[in-house]
Structure 1
Amino acid sequence: MNDLEYIRIFWDKLWSQDEIKAPWANRDIPNELTQHLEKPLQNEVKNSVDIGCGLGEIALWVEKMGYNSYGFDISPSAIIKALDNLPSDSKVNFFVHDVTSQPLQQKFDCLIDRGCFHCIPQNLQKNYAENIAGSSTPTAVYFLFIKAFRGDLKMTPNDKSKYWISHIRNTFGQHFTLSKVSVCDLSPRGKEKTLPGLFFKLTRTHKY
């Protein structure tokens, strides 16, 4: 069994459960998105995609911000649940896709990843970066959330934050410019214990 097949089976098994108790399946919209995601101008059409969307709560929220919203996941069970929970007045397009295999057919102005990238084996992360770049418009903005280290919500020389910042620059630097990095809280809703992470805002870079 190769890495991709193992990942697909692993996540589909989790998402196929009748009651999903995993912490990553019960989280609010990140504060960083509400602070940094800009609404499209009036009469402006922009597309957004939620990468590794799970139940699709981010994709649904982005639609309310005025975007044509899409969401995909490697797990068919996750997409089935997202479609089952889709409000009747929503036009979010949910579908199954493996982001390490090929770019998306659509081009996106906004790309959001809350917790997908750090679950991908390192030998496939370059594929991910290239396919994300191939799915973005020339002025796209990419928001990335990763579970970067444990402990307090602080960036210190003793944690893994420096490694992750360097790794993100090296992985995405050919395609995106890192414009913002900060500590974020990825804790599940209603839990007091923090799950520290890093938030990255990257903008599309075209080199001629």
Structure 2
Amino acid sequence: MDENTEVWRQFYEKALARAHLKRTEFAAKLNESNLAVAVDCGCGTGSDIEYLEKQGYQVYGFDINPESVAICRDRFAAKALVEISQSSFEVYDYPRSGLVIANSSLFFAEPSNFQSTWENIESSLEAGGVFAGDFMGINDSWASQYRSPTTPLTEEHVKALFTDFDIIRFSERDEDAKTTLGKMKHWHTFSVVAVKRA
């Protein structure tokens, strides 16, 4: 097992114990698109999927890591409203949706294809639909020399992605803190909840 696989395995063990994000709840309530379809980009172990499915959403979750996909397929095997795929951001076929969640996942989108990935996400959202997610800032420890490619962005770049949205929440985190696995790192992230305009 390579180091990367082992790190993800440990992460998923910890992540399985986590509840859904309160931000996911907030975003789901903001959805005014009349489309109860959600996409969870980089769905991990599926805590947000579980919450959204209980709210009556048809949920499409995808992750590039086979272990995450296996956990979610097992976890949601009996749920007709949940569909799990193994995919990257770049090749995923985004369905028409009222909610797109990307919690701490777009950090790992392929930098050279980031703009087209974002355009795919944006165009999949119906008017009145909601995006909720995080972007990596340029001061983050993982912005360079991370074990896989990352897409760090400036605040201006992040805000420029949302020209066709009303930003409801925007926050910046710029601090040293522990990862899920207990290692210290410098976090620099931008978190956004935004509603797509008609």
Normalising by structure 2, report the TM-score: 0.70
Hey, what's the Cα distance between the residues in 2 that align with 1:19 and 1:142?
Answer: 25
Distance 1:145 1:92, change over 3 A: same
Distance 1:183 1:30, change over 3 A: farther
The equivalent of 1:79 in structure 2 is 69
1:71 deviates by 0.5
Distance 1:197 1:25, change over 3 A: farther
Question: Given the alignment of the two structures, is residue 178 of structure 1 paired with residue 167 of structure 2, yes or no?
Answer: yes
Question: Given the alignment of the two structures, is residue 204 of structure 1 paired with residue 196 of structure 2, yes or no?
Answer: yes
Match of 2:158 among 168, 185, 192: 168
User: In structure 2, the residue corresponding to 1:93 is in which secondary structure?
Assistant: strand
**Number of residues of Structure 1 aligned to a counterpart in Structure 2:** 179
Deviations 1:44-93 (A, max 9, x none): 65101101112222111111122111101123332122102226356311
The equivalent of 1:37 in structure 2 is 28
User: In structure 2, the residue corresponding to 1:28 is in which secondary structure?
Assistant: coil
Deviations 1:137-188 (A, max 9, x none): 12211001235466xxxxxxxxxxxx64312123x23543433202579976
| Structure that is richer in strand per residue | 2
Contact map agreement 1:101 1:127 (CA 8 A) in 2: no
Hey, what's the Cα distance between the residues in 2 that align with 1:173 and 1:39?
Answer: 16
Residue type of the alignment partner of 1:59: I
Question: Given the alignment of the two structures, is residue 133 of structure 1 paired with residue 99 of structure 2, yes or no?
Answer: no
Hey, what's the Cα distance between the residues in 2 that align with 1:23 and 1:204?
Answer: 32
Output the aligned Cα RMSD.
3.8
Hey, what's the Cα distance between the residues in 2 that align with 1:197 and 1:100?
Answer: 21
User: In structure 2, the residue corresponding to 1:37 is in which secondary structure?
Assistant: helix
The equivalent of 1:4 in structure 2 is none
The equivalent of 2:87 in structure 1 is 97
The equivalent of 1:68 in structure 2 is 58
Residue type of the alignment partner of 2:115: K
The equivalent of 2:109 in structure 1 is 120
Hey, what's the Cα distance between the residues in 1 that align with 2:7 and 2:108?
Answer: 23
Residue type of the alignment partner of 1:173: F
Residue type of the alignment partner of 1:84: D
User: In structure 2, the residue corresponding to 1:101 is in which secondary structure?
Assistant: coil
Match of 2:78 among 53, 75, 88: 88
The equivalent of 1:156 in structure 2 is none
Residue type of the alignment partner of 1:178: I
User: In structure 1, the residue corresponding to 2:59 is in which secondary structure?
Assistant: strand
Distance 1:84 1:188, change over 3 A: farther
The equivalent of 1:20 in structure 2 is 9
Q: Unpaired runs of 5+ in structure 1? A: 1-9, 151-162
The equivalent of 2:133 in structure 1 is 144
Q: Unpaired runs of 5+ in structure 2? A: 141-152
Distance 1:140 1:198, change over 3 A: same
